[in-house]
Amino acid sequence: MKTFTGSNILSVDQFDREAIHTVFEVADRMEPYAHRKKRTRVLDGAILGNLFFEPSTRTRVSFGTAFNLLGGEVRETAGMNTSALSKGESLYDTARVLSSYSDVIAMRHPQSGSVAEFARGSRVPVINGGDGSNEHPTQALLDLYTIQKELQHQGRDIDGMHIAMVGDLRFGRTVHSLSKLLCLYKNIRFTLISPADLAMPDKVLAELDKVGHRVTITDQLEGHLDKSDILYLTRIQEERFPSQEEANKYRGKFRLNQSIYTQNCQSNTVIMHPLPRDSRAEANELDDDLNQHPNLAIFRQADNGVLIRMALFTLVLGVNNVIHHYDCPVQWLTSKSDQQGL
Ligand code: NCD
């Protein structure tokens, strides 16, 4: 990636190690703003078009929050039914119009490739918030940022680590993007645990193979976690199945709770999940009894999403080096600054 300014962020394929380093360095600098130690008005007057044509809580709200924390305004549309796309409007037309109302657009859509198609009609940079089962680049960046921080805390590195990915590896876009991003690192071991029907796509496996990462594929959770530094769980992506009955065949197949963790994992294995976790009884893929476990990184992961998205906005809009010129004090009572490091 040569420059961020004015660029779309559509795929992790755009990134090299240098670009990742830049994003992470800016994300680190966003902490005081996210923790309300100070404010910046660097994006005062700028407008984010936050277009979510598929369900989302974290990604949508964290894009909006990130933009607000930089002083910008957010215009939002959520759901397909309330959009003119449901009247047959093309992505190109929607993009031409909405991009004239915004300075940057974040978008999620159920079809693979849709965000790239939208970007072709847009006159402002477009950031992919998830396109079908294809990619979720900002999630992969925040996942990688979290992995780096968690391992650093243990005095270790991403190069040479062992990651186990569990669940719906076929339709889960987060594991596709994260695996591809990990191809930029050295000597990573993958244990891919899924039902055979929901295995990691060959295209992604081929990329792992090309860079020499070692991959073990299995449909068993127990007995395969003892070497992993990172355990990355995912939800069965029920919305991508032809019917709920079909999805139900797989929900609840892999579950992690305190006792399974203790029996199968190293004592320092970091537990990650992009969220939402399916907590309904028949699935309960990541049990509440791990909520207080120090190695459960899922909420730190979600918090890091704001830092990464703030970093991307400042880079794409070309203000990453002037943020501090627009600093101002926080006037209200805030407990956020006490949460740092939690
Ligand atoms: C993920 C997604 O939408 O792909 N969620 C998220 O963005 N944090 C994972 C999921 O929905 O299971």
Contact 286, 315 (CB under 8 A): no
Average pLDDT of the chain to the nearest whole number: 95
Strands (DSSP E) contained in 219-285 are: 230-233, 270-272
Res. 2: pLDDT tops 80: no
274 lines ligand 1 (CB under 6 A): yes
CA-to-CA distance for 314 and 29, rounded, in angstroms? 11
Q: Is the CATH number 3.40.50.1370 carried by domain 12-135+304-328?
A: yes
Verify whether residue 123 is a known catalytic residue. no
Higher pLDDT: 314 or 88? It is: 314
pLDDT at residue 221 tops 90 = yes
Percent of the chain with pLDDT over 90: 90
What is the value of pTM for the model shown? 0.96
pLDDT confidence of residue 338: 61
Q: In the prediction, which pLDDT does 81 show?
A: 74
- Determine the Cα–Cα distance for residues 174 and 135; give it in Å rounded to an integer: 7
Catalytic residue among 35, 60, 109, 136: 136
59 part of the active site: yes
Spatial neighbors of 215 by CB under 8 A, at least 6 apart, are 189, 190, 191, 192, 205, 208, 209
Instruction: Name the band, by pLDDT with cuts 50, 70 and 90, for residue 334.
Output: confident
Per DSSP bridges, beta strands 214-218 and 189-193 are: parallel
Q: Where are the domains of the chain?
A: 12-135+304-328, 137-299
94: confidence class by pLDDT, cuts 50, 70, 90:
very high
- Whole-number pLDDT of residue 24: 98
Containing H/E element for 60?
helix 58-69
How far apart are the CA of 172 and the centre of ligand 1, in A? 8
Atom of ligand 1 nearest to the CA of 58: 8
136 CA from centroid of ligand 1 (Å): 8
Here the tokens at position 204 are 């992604």
Distance 333 CA to ligand 1 centre (A): 33
Reported as a pLDDT band with limits 50, 70 and 90, residue 83 is confident
Exposure string for 301-317, b = 16+ CB within 10 A, e = fewer: bbbbbbbbbbbbbbbbb
List all residues 6 or more positions away from 243 whose beta carbon is below 8 Å from its beta carbon.
none
**Cβ–Cβ < 8 Å for 254, 169:** no
> Is the confidence at residue 341, as pLDDT, over 50?
no
Q: Most distant CA pair in the chain: distance in Å? A: 56
Q: Which of 146, 234, 275, 278 to mutate to test the pocket of ligand 1 (most atoms within 8 A of CB)?
A: 275
Dihedral sign, CA of 167, 137, 65, 148?
A: positive
In the residue annotation, 251 being an active-site residue is answered as no
In degrees and rounded to multiples of 5, residue 53 shows phi and psi of -95, 15
**Ligand 1 site, residue 138, Cβ cutoff 6 A:** no
Distance 118 CA to ligand 1 centre (A): 20
Tokens matching residue 82:
């309330």
Residue 327's φ and ψ, nearest 5 degrees, are -70, 145
Look at residue 144 and tell me whether its pLDDT is greater than 70. yes
pLDDT of residue 337: 59
Q: How far apart are CA 72 and CA 9, in angstroms?
A: 19
Q: Which of 132, 123, 67 is CA-nearest to residue 95?
A: 123
Report residue 202 as tokens: 């060959």
Does residue 59 line the site of ligand 1, with CB under 6 A? yes
CATH number of 137-299: 3.40.50.1370
CB 43 within 8 A of CB 71: yes
The bridge status of strand 189-193 relative to strand 162-166 is: parallel
